Amino acid sequence: MELENRNKEEGKEEGKTKTEESGGLHRLTATKEGDEALDLIVGRLNDGFNGGKVSRVQALSFLLVRQAEELSDALIQEMRAMFFDELTLLETALRRAKATGKVPVELRSLLMKQMGLDEQVKKKSKKSD
């Protein structure tokens, strides 16, 4: 969704653009579904609205600001789960381990289990008891 190009035409008013009035536009990119959703929202906003015309930039800006104010922890968790990337998590854990010299116990156990070494550790701990 390239809002800047579409709204250069929409934003002209008496020689002054809305860009100048609002402090500037910033380009955002969205998926095809996001772009279609924004079109749907703008269509609904303007359908039967005789008192003006809501642009894509205005609608998106309003929605982003409003959502930022009302963003719940549950929605944050839902979004994080949606975009979770195992490799990124592993890379982060590796960087931390290199920086501190310590691997988290849970990760160490998982790695040992992956290598088939967890049973040997259990047997040794039984003998030492």
Are residue 92 and residue 67 in the same domain, yes or no?
no
Are residue 74 and residue 112 in the same domain, yes or no?
no
Report the domain count for the chain: 2
The percent of residues above 70 in pLDDT, for the chain, comes to 74
Are residue 17 and residue 63 in the same domain, yes or no?
yes
Are residue 29 and residue 72 in the same domain, yes or no?
yes
Of 105 and 21, the structure prediction assigns the larger pLDDT to 105
pLDDT digits (tens, 9 = 90+) for 63-78: 999 999 999 999 999 9
Give the count of beta carbons closer than 10 Å to the beta carbon of residue 48.
6
Residue 16 has pLDDT above 60, yes or no: no
Are residue 53 and residue 10 in the same domain, yes or no?
yes
Q: Which amino acid belongs to residue 96?
A: R
Of 5 and 75, the structure prediction assigns the larger pLDDT to 75
Residue 4 has pLDDT above 50, yes or no: no
Q: Distance between CA atoms of 66 and 52, rounded to whole angstroms?
A: 21
Residue 113 has pLDDT above 70, yes or no: yes
Q: Which amino acid belongs to residue 54?
A: V
β-sheet bridge partners, residue 12: 17
Are residue 45 and residue 71 in the same domain, yes or no?
yes
Of 85 and 24, the structure prediction assigns the larger pLDDT to 85
Are residue 63 and residue 112 in the same domain, yes or no?
no
What does DSSP say about strands 12-13 and 16-17: parallel, antiparallel, or unpaired?
antiparallel
Are residue 62 and residue 95 in the same domain, yes or no?
no
Average pLDDT estimate for 27-45:
94
Are residue 114 and residue 56 in the same domain, yes or no?
no
Judge whether 93 and 43 are in contact, CB under 8 Å. Answer: no
Q: Distance between CA atoms of 108 and 104, rounded to whole angstroms?
A: 6
Domain span at 65: 3-82
Are residue 55 and residue 39 in the same domain, yes or no?
yes
Q: Distance between CA atoms of 6 and 39, rounded to whole angstroms?
A: 12
pLDDT value at position 28?
85
Q: Kindly indicate the confidence band of residue 24, based on its pLDDT and cuts at 50, 70 and 90.
A: confident
Q: Distance between CA atoms of 48 and 64, rounded to whole angstroms?
A: 24
Are residue 75 and residue 37 in the same domain, yes or no?
yes
Domain final position from 61, 82, 103: 82
Average pLDDT estimate for 49-75:
94
Strand extents, DSSP E, 1-129:
12-13, 16-17
Are residue 93 and residue 121 in the same domain, yes or no?
yes
Q: Which amino acid belongs to residue 83?
A: F
Q: Kindly indicate the confidence band of residue 15, based on its pLDDT and cuts at 50, 70 and 90.
A: very low
